[in-house]
């Protein structure tokens, strides 16, 4: 039981907000206080609340929540044995290597101040978040509740996006090419401000929502989880992000190959019926048809021309890259760009990494994904831990989906998608440690 001195910071936060006389600021500080008090009562509650509120938070509350989680760990005392397990895990090693490689890129950038600022603001906290999550997810029960809250958060933000879609009359024209898609006037973007970015977040959540249907045993729970999955799937559909649709298709084929291959045939039959009876809305058919020739519309042409410029940059800077700061990028890109193709990043995580970091940049990114995919696949293939293997399948599919989406988008360009990726990585790392512990216990038994 903690004394009043531990609770005092929460009261001071609320009091400070009230004194300021600003309703929004007071509500924000009250949220901070509630998160702090939940963690003081039981630190796992703060972990769940973090996962539950994640997509609704901007950078400042995300960092505050992370600081509180660190405080809670230090307050109870960090288990040295657990910390050693985290720091010696393959997931941490690959992640730390990637973050180190990005740091080298930041230090060698021409504009050192700008590049280090971005590195300190986004990449260092990402590695800390990974370590904190892996330290706190210490059991199967905590893992289940954490991922369940993450799925619920995805469903909640999907509800917000769906309400936005059906209540708004239209949206900014920059997200819609009305010449090649005249029927498309709205796309879901929720709190992310960009339908493509929102789709990337949903790609991480949706496979977990689907495998959760197989994880829970009670029929009523299965129905509730199916609703959560349906909400995220509908929201992803209404982002009208072609790259995300293809990535989701790849992810779900991989899931069904492992869980239930008959559903692949069922899905194909349903698709044939929908086509024969003209059940697919014209706006969706039009968007799907454009996938056959993605470079027919302006966004596809724009990406292709930008990638050709990127390949020319890689040819000249393949060893060290150009550096990660935006100022240097703009100065270098102007010498290689196609006419009228102005970009601030290359909408491709693999090309972007090669351009900014050279061989070390792309190599560390490939190694990171390789290690995460390898570890999650090993969990998915574990026949002795069938329930954990279900999570492994979902996490594996989430990674593959994001990697596929990274072919048409720089998925690390948005800090919330990047940090959501690290939450997935932390879950994979936590399972790796749980399985390692169980193997040791079985060997000593």
Per DSSP, helices labelled H in 137-218 are: 140-167, 195-215
CB under 8 Å to 84, separation ≥6 — which residues? none
Tens of pLDDT along the chain (445 residues) come to 455 556 666 666 667 666 666 666 677 777 788 888 888 888 899 999 999 999 998 898 899 899 989 988 988 888 899 999 999 999 999 999 999 999 998 888 878 888 899 999 999 999 999 999 999 998 999 999 999 999 999 999 999 999 988 887 666 655 666 666 767 778 899 989 899 999 999 999 999 999 999 999 899 999 999 999 999 999 999 999 999 999 999 999 999 999 988 888 888 888 888 888 878 888 888 888 777 666 566 677 788 888 889 999 999 988 888 888 888 888 888 888 887 777 778 889 999 999 999 999 999 999 999 999 999 999 999 877 888 999 999 999 999 999 999 998 889 989 999 999 999 999 999 999 998 888 887 777 5
Each as own residue / partner, the long-range contacts of residues 170-179 (CB below 8 Å, 24 or more positions apart, any chain) are 177/297, 177/298, 177/299, 179/297, 179/298
DSSP state, residue 337: P
Distance between CA atoms of 296 and 443, rounded to whole angstroms? Answer: 59
Each as own residue / partner, the long-range contacts of residues 40-43 (CB below 8 Å, 24 or more positions apart, any chain) are 40/2, 40/6, 40/7, 40/10, 40/72, 43/69, 43/72, 43/73, 43/76, 43/136
Q: pTM value?
A: 0.92
- The answer to whether 14 touches 30, Cβ cutoff 8 Å, is yes
Predicted local confidence at residue 357, as pLDDT: 92
CB under 8 Å to 137, separation ≥6 — which residues? 47, 143, 146, 426, 427, 430
Structure-token pair, residue 318: 């393949």
DSSP string covering 377-396? HHHHT-SS-HHHHHHHHHHH
Cα 304 from chain centroid? Answer: 25
Predicted local confidence at residue 344, as pLDDT: 79
Structure-token pair, residue 249: 């298709």
Distance between CA atoms of 280 and 294, rounded to whole angstroms? Answer: 20
């Amino acid at each position: 039981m903690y004394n009043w001195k531990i609770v005092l910071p929460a009261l001071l936060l609320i009091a400070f907000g009230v004194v300021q006389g600003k309703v929004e600021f007071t509500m924000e500080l009250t949220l901070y206080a509630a998160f702090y008090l939940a963690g003081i009562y039981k630190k796992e509650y703060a972990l769940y609340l973090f996962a539950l509120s994640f997509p609704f938070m901007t950078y400042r509350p995300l960092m505050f929540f992370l600081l509180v989680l660190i405080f809670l760990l230090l307050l109870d005392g960090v288990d040295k044995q657990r910390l050693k397990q985290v720091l010696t895990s393959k997931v941490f090693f690959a992640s730390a290597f990637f973050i180190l490689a990005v740091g080298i890129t930041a230090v060698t950038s021409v504009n050192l101040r700008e590049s280090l600022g971005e590195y300190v603001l986004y990449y260092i906290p990402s590695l800390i978040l990974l370590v904190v999550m892996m330290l706190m997810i210490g059991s199967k029960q905590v893992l289940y509740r954490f991922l369940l809250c993450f799925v619920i958060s995805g469903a909640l933000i999907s509800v917000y996006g769906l309400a936005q879609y059906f209540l708004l009359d239209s949206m900014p024209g920059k997200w819609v090419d009305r010449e090649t898609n005249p029927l498309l006037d709205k796309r879901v973007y929720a709190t992310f401000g960009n339908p493509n970015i929102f789709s990337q977040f949903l790609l991480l959540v949706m496979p977990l929502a689907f495998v959760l249907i197989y994880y829970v045993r009670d029929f009523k729970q299965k129905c509730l989880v199916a609703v959560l999955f349906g909400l995220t799937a509908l929201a992803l559909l209404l982002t009208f992000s072609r790259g995300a649709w293809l990535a989701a298709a790849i992810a779900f084929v991989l899931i069904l190959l492992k869980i239930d291959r008959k559903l692949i045939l069922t899905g194909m039959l349903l698709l044939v019926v929908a086509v024969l009876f003209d059940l697919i809305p014209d706006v969706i058919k039009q968007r799907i048809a454009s996938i056959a020739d993605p470079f027919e519309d302006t966004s596809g042409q724009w990406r292709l021309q930008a990638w050709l410029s990127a390949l020319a940059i890689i040819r000249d800077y393949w060893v060290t890259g150009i550096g990660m700061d935006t100022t240097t990028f703009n100065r270098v890109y102007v010498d290689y760009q196609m006419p009228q193709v102005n970009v601030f990043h290359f909408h491709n995580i693999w090309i972007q990494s090669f351009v900014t970091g050279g061989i070390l940049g792309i190599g560390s990114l490939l190694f990171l994904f390789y290690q995460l995919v390898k570890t999650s696949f090993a969990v998915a293939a574990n026949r002795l831990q069938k329930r954990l293997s279900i999570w492994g399948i979902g996490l594996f599919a989430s990674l593959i989906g994001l990697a596929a989406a990274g072919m048409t988008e720089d998925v690390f360009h948005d800090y919330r998608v990047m940090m959501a990726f690290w939450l997935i990585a932390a879950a994979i790392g936590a399972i790796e440690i749980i399985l390692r512990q169980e193997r040791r216990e079985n060997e000593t038994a």
